[in-house]
Amino acid sequence: MTSIVNIIIALLMFSFLVAFHEFGHFAVAKLSGIKVNKFAIGMGPVIFKFTRGETEYSLRLLPVGGFCAMEGEDDTSEDARAFRNKPVRFRIATVLAGPVMNLILGFLIAVVTAGFLTEVIPTTTVREFLSGSSSQATGLQAGDEIISMDGMHIFTTSDISYKFSNSKDGVFDLVVKRNGVKTELKNVKFYREYYYYIEEATDEIPYEHYVKFDTKEEYTGDRELKKAEENADFKVYRVENKNFFNVVSYGFRDTLSTARLIWISFIDLVRGQYGLNDLSGPVGIVSAIGTVRAYGIESLMSLIMMISVNLGIFNLLPLPALDGGRLVFLIIEGIRRKPVPAEKEGMVHFIGIACLMLLMVVITIGDISKIFNK
């Protein structure tokens, strides 16, 4: 039953995110005077449809996205309002509108999550140090606001966690704001030892979790404690008195942080630091939904925000069949003052779709194998 619920959530989520994306194309196309032939929510057989003006609107059986079909988008058309007959600036705006809408949606979800679903908003200002903290001994002080780590600007605590997870030694050059003044700190080491045991899921905490202790003496039970190390050796201040401005500010910074980390991940993938086995498709996301649901609605909304931002950035990549690939052709047309023949551009996008579908099959097989190998 739980798996079915996860699948339903995933289908609804993808449909909503893709429909929002396609609505961006639709809205800007209409504003640009481009003729839109069809706008559909879902794919496959039509459940019901109606026509208003020149556009057919439909709801389709399979909740796996949607589409916005514009006149002359992939072929030649004599209609003056066809996509390819409109000025390049209008077409660029129409192509960009889909990914931008996903980025806007991600921001709105981040704001709603921070405003209504979280009790407090985390800052990047050090409140106190944990027992055995190395960062305090190597220059960091309570009250320091962490501005950057090794040259990377810090928007949220997620950025700090990212730097920790990708560090070999936990040593960083920092820029902090101390007493209102930016201060450089060299070779700050983040490190501490702690002890823990793993607690099974309970009614109060419905997922397996760590119970940590700074020293063995703190624990008075009879379970065997394990020793571990971590870079997070301090706690940050949290904003409890939320208002419109700090909620919107955090939502904006959270979206920027997510977008940058996704972009960095794409770059790392191209560099070979990640392989196909590290990628996840729909099956992997269904599994992830099952995991984050146990942590509550806040974690689920954060996952949806990340996927929406991911869709926006992914579609901006200059690859055939993606919005970024179409944008490349439009930029070339703007420079040459002459469009690439429709049949040639269409062939490039067709090949791109075929390659993306093949990649999706490979990723899905990998997702399924991960499930059976657990």
- Using pLDDT thresholds of 50, 70 and 90, give the confidence band for residue 273: confident
Q: Which of 14-23, 54-63, 244-253, 263-272 holds the top average pLDDT?
A: 244-253
The overall longest dimension of the chain from CA atoms, in Å, is: 82
Given a cut of 80, whether residue 283 has pLDDT beyond it is no
Domain definitions of the chain by residue range: 2-117+303-372, 122-191+231-239
The rounded distance, in Å, linking the Cα atoms of 41 and 165 is: 39
- What pLDDT digit, counting tens, does each position of 289-340 carry? 877 887 889 999 999 999 999 999 999 999 888 899 999 999 999 998 888 8
Tokens of 304: 């949806």
pLDDT at 237: 97
pLDDT at 371: 63
- Using pLDDT thresholds of 50, 70 and 90, give the confidence band for residue 165: very high
Given a cut of 70, whether residue 205 has pLDDT beyond it is yes
CA dihedral 345, 349, 355, 359 (to 10 degrees): 150
Higher pLDDT pick, 349 / 155? 155
Amino acid at position 304, single letter: I
Helix (H) or strand (E) holding 4: helix 2-31
Q: Give the 3-state secondary structure of residue 144.
A: coil
Higher pLDDT pick, 20 / 207? 20
Buried b (16+ CB within 10 A) or exposed e, 167-189: eeebbbebbbeeeeeeeebeebb
Report whether CATH 2.30.42.10 matches the domain 122-191+231-239.
yes
The rounded distance, in Å, linking the Cα atoms of 213 and 195 is: 5
The rounded distance, in Å, linking the Cα atoms of 259 and 168 is: 24
Catalytic residues: 22
Would you say 120 and 329 are in contact if contact means Cβ atoms under 8 Å apart? no
Amino acid at position 269, single letter: L
The rounded distance, in Å, linking the Cα atoms of 57 and 23 is: 12
pLDDT at 276: 65
Given a cut of 80, whether residue 27 has pLDDT beyond it is yes
pLDDT at 352: 84
Report strand pairing: 171-178 vs 36-52.
Answer: unpaired
**If you average pLDDT over every residue of the chain, what do you get?**
90
Which is it for the CA torsion 88, 89, 90, 92, positive or negative? positive
Given a cut of 70, whether residue 280 has pLDDT beyond it is yes
The rounded distance, in Å, linking the Cα atoms of 149 and 69 is: 46
Q: Which of 41-50, 281-290, 347-356 holds the top average pLDDT?
A: 41-50
Given a cut of 60, whether residue 374 has pLDDT beyond it is no
Q: Which residues, in sequence order, are bridge partners of residue 239?
A: 121
Buried b (16+ CB within 10 A) or exposed e, 129-158: bbeebbbbebbbeeebbbebbeeeebbbbb
Point out the least confidently predicted range of 80-84, 89-93, 215-219, 267-271: 267-271
pLDDT at 87: 94
The rounded distance, in Å, linking the Cα atoms of 181 and 167 is: 27
* pTM listed for this prediction: 0.89
pLDDT at 249: 97
pLDDT at 83: 92
The DSSP secondary-structure symbol of 87 reads: -
pLDDT at 1: 56
Point out the least confidently predicted range of 53-67, 182-196, 307-321, 353-367: 353-367
The DSSP secondary-structure symbol of 176 reads: E
pLDDT at 77: 83
The rounded distance, in Å, linking the Cα atoms of 330 and 94 is: 11
Percent of the chain with pLDDT over 90: 60
Nearest Cα residue to 145 out of 137, 155, 158: 155
pLDDT at 103: 97
Given a cut of 80, whether residue 278 has pLDDT beyond it is no
The rounded distance, in Å, linking the Cα atoms of 37 and 53 is: 10
Given a cut of 70, whether residue 373 has pLDDT beyond it is no
- Using pLDDT thresholds of 50, 70 and 90, give the confidence band for residue 2: low
- Using pLDDT thresholds of 50, 70 and 90, give the confidence band for residue 181: very high
- Residue 345's CB: how many other CB atoms inside 10 A? 22
The rounded distance, in Å, linking the Cα atoms of 369 and 117 is: 35
Nearest Cα residue to 324 out of 313, 315, 311, 312: 315
The three-point CA angle 82-85-90 to 5° equals 90
The rounded distance, in Å, linking the Cα atoms of 130 and 18 is: 44
- What pLDDT digit, counting tens, does each position of 87-142 carry? 999 999 999 999 999 999 999 999 999 999 898 999 999 999 999 899 999 999 99
Buried b (16+ CB within 10 A) or exposed e, 95-118: bbbbbbbbbbbbbebbbebbbeeb
